[in-house]
Amino acid sequence: MHIIPLDHETDFHGWRKAARALALNDVKPSDVSWTIAGNAPELFAPTALPLEPPHGTFNVSSRFVELAKIAILHRNPQRFALLYRLLWRLRSNHDLLDIATDPDVAEIAAMAKAVRRDEHKMHAFVRFREIGREHKSHYVAWFEPEHHIVELAAPFFARRFADMPWSILTPDLCAHWDGHAVSITPGVAKSEAPTADRLEETWRSYYASIFNPARLKVKAMRNEMPKKYWRNLPEASLIKPLIEGAARSTSAMITNAATEPHKAQKRLDLSKGNDEGNDMPPKHDGDDIETLREEAADCRACPLYKDATQTVFGEGPPTARIMLVGEQPGDKEDLAGKPFVGPAGQMLDRALQEAGIDRRTVYVTNAVKHFKFVPRGKIRLHQKPNTAEIRACRPWYVRELTAIKPELVVAMGATAAQSVLGKITPINKNRGSLIHLDDGTRALVTVHPSYLLRLPDAEAKAHEYERFVQDLRIAADLLRKSADAA
């Protein structure tokens, strides 16, 4: 039997050095006993066997080293032996740590988890008390960790409270920060720690006020804030009285429920009469674009408004000579409330420019003015509007058309063509020629720019884009001719 004395409770280096020597000497885990120097030896201590000086070396994964560094902070006295047993077994089974069902692996993982949890709780439940005031103040806390975590947890406080001197006192070790470095000193008694802070009453009244007595869930609280931490939390003394008073204050809320409205309400009602407070928004029949836009914002002609963010109405100068009609707003347009601002919009901008049309001079709108989609996790999948939705939205297009009175309407895509021409109209058959509408307006049918975006093949994309620009050039030519004629 080998007795290995370690320097202190968290002596990872000592453990590592000894473990390496033991393993290289082929000492079985059952033949090793680990102790802490200074702790009284067992009454019938097994005799210590000398180790051969180790020769050779071996590697373990850094994952094991990291795990061991944390697990060794656990208070369980068996941890050194367990770690050595794992090390021993890892030499013949490199994948051992991946076997979550192995009892040794499960146990070490549970230990590491308990240490991490204790560290997290220390970050959470340390309560500093201020000693001295203002510029000379020093912040001191008393904490009783479950495991040997003071050195593990201290850097967190150094990063967080870098501009103030603090000390965390515990029965094991104390950590201090002077603004430059963390220093560690031996543990002290609780009586060394300050017992009060000027803010504590304020903190306790916050704790009491943020608690909702109607939703008592004591078990949930105790799972996250186990009782062992309570004695050092200033707010914990309120827990019992708050629970005891909860039923009373809740039933008081319920029985005293309805009172007469406060007089402020009446005052406000009076003040409301002049400009707000009409339930019905004014209906405008005037057909200037701004009025139409306001009216369309409340449109509920089809169910698409429900899931969409907002109505995306047309945009552009009221004197525009070309009106571009797309299919429906997409994701970006729905969020921004403007037509053609997403990827298809950028494609359109580029094509317009190449065709010699300034986007700022045209009126751009969509046949359907709410985004239609189905949510799929974090994205919204675009859905094609159906005929009922196109029909429901068509009055807006008609009123826009009447307000703008463009010389030419360019319908981009099948949905737009259906709305502009009032019937289902195949694109390819009608593309590239001017169609005379009943009201004297001319229409031009082409593809929707998002069609170009969807083409997977680069060559086809370039070709189709060129055709799209060609179609827009027809519009540009028409404008030029009519300008010349004027």
Partner 1 sequence: MDVQRKLEILADAAKYDASCASSGTEKRDSSDGKGLGSTAPGMGICHSYAPDGRCISLLKVLLTNACNYDCLYCVNRTSSNVPRARFTVDEVVQLTIDFYRRNYIEGLFLSSGIIRSADYTMEQVVSVARKLREEHRFRGYIHLKTIPEADDALIAEAGKYADRLSINIEMPEENSLAKFAPEKDVRAIRRTMGRLRLKLDETKENVRTATKTKPPRFAPAGQSTQMIIGADAASDKTILDTSANLYGSYRLKRVYYSAFSPIPDASRALPLVSPPLIREHRLYQADWLMRFYGFDADEIVDETKGMLSLDIDPKLAWALRHRDRFPLDVATASREDLLRVPGFGTKAVDRIIATRRLTSIRVADLARLHIPQKKALPFIVLSDHRPSLHLLDGAGLAERFKPKATQLGFGF
Q: From the CB of 275, what's the least distance to partner 1, in Å?
A: 13
Kindly state the DSSP code that residue 482 receives in the 8-state scheme.
H
Structure token pair of residue 417: 């063509």
Q: From the CB of 67, what's the least distance to partner 1, in Å?
A: 14
By C-beta, is 12 or 207 nearer to partner 1?
Answer: 207
Report CA 128 to chain centroid distance, whole Å.
Answer: 31
**CA separation for the pair 162, 479 (Å, rounded):** 69
| Closest listed residue to residue 141, CA positions, set 157, 126, 152, 131 | 126
Q: C-alpha dihedral over 427, 431, 433, 434, to 10 degrees? A: 40
For tokens 């007469």, name the residue.
Answer: 260
Indicate the burial class of 228 (C-beta count within 10 angstroms; 0-12, 13-18, 19 or more).
Answer: exposed
Give bridge partners of residue 381 from the DSSP assignment: 374
- For 356, phi then psi, to 5°, come to 85, 30
Q: From the CB of 257, what's the least distance to partner 1, in Å?
A: 5
Q: From the CB of 280, what's the least distance to partner 1, in Å?
A: 13
Q: From the CB of 224, what's the least distance to partner 1, in Å?
A: 5
| Closest listed residue to residue 355, CA positions, set 404, 434, 410 | 410
By C-beta, is 131 or 435 nearer to partner 1?
Answer: 131
For tokens 């408004």, name the residue.
Answer: 305
Q: From the CB of 278, what's the least distance to partner 1, in Å?
A: 12
Give bridge partners of residue 184 from the DSSP assignment: 175
**CA separation for the pair 303, 380 (Å, rounded):** 17
Q: From the CB of 174, what's the least distance to partner 1, in Å?
A: 16
